[in-house]
Amino acid sequence: ALSEHARAVGRGSLVGRVLEDDLEARGFLERRGFTMVSTERPVALDLTQAPATRPTPPAGVELASLAERPDLVEVAYAVEAEAVADIPVGAERPTPRTFDAWRADTVDSPDALLDLSLVALLDGVAVGWSGLAATGEDGLWSAGLCLIAEESIRLGRPLPVGARVKM
């Protein structure tokens, strides 16, 4: 039913996630035609062993939190929308969420940690973004993807603040 619906609305593939060691789930999906297109490995930082010093950004780079710079919310979305479209997940390019859906999950969620959700600015213009949220598990936080504006990489220049924001 899900495959039929996806085809009816113009999708060419479905993407899901399964734990690498969950052989039963992997087998279930493989028997239904799913193939592996990428892998992820969770990582953790033991804060009792991590250095307490804050690294200094390179010259011209400023890290601004969404808590201190709420005017950067649309810029963070623009960076994410551009970068997500380049993440390989099979035959299709991913479609970024709408601004409203992204904002609800990333900024307005009670789990959002806006003081630790950062936009990287190079000489005052956005070049990167990463969000942080509480996971709901006892004291754990989850960092989203660290995303770099692809145009910044390709052209060797930063993405102008507010560029190509689609809402």
Q: How far is CA 6 from the centre of its chain?
A: 23
Question: What is the model's pLDDT at position 149?
Answer: 62
Side-chain half-sphere CA neighbours of 41 within 13 A: 1
Question: What is the model's pLDDT at position 14?
Answer: 77
Blockwise average pLDDT, block size 10, the chain, 167 residues: 80 77 87 80 77 79 92 90 73 79 91 89 83 73 66 49 33
Helices (H), 9-98: 23-31, 73-84
CA 67/CA 85 separation, integer angstroms: 26
Question: What is the model's pLDDT at position 167?
Answer: 25
Question: What is the model's pLDDT at position 136?
Answer: 66
Question: What is the model's pLDDT at position 152?
Answer: 54
Instruction: Kindly give, in sequence order, each residue whose CB lies less than 8 Å from that of residue 75, ignoring residues fewer than 6 positions away.
Output: 119, 126, 129, 161, 162, 165
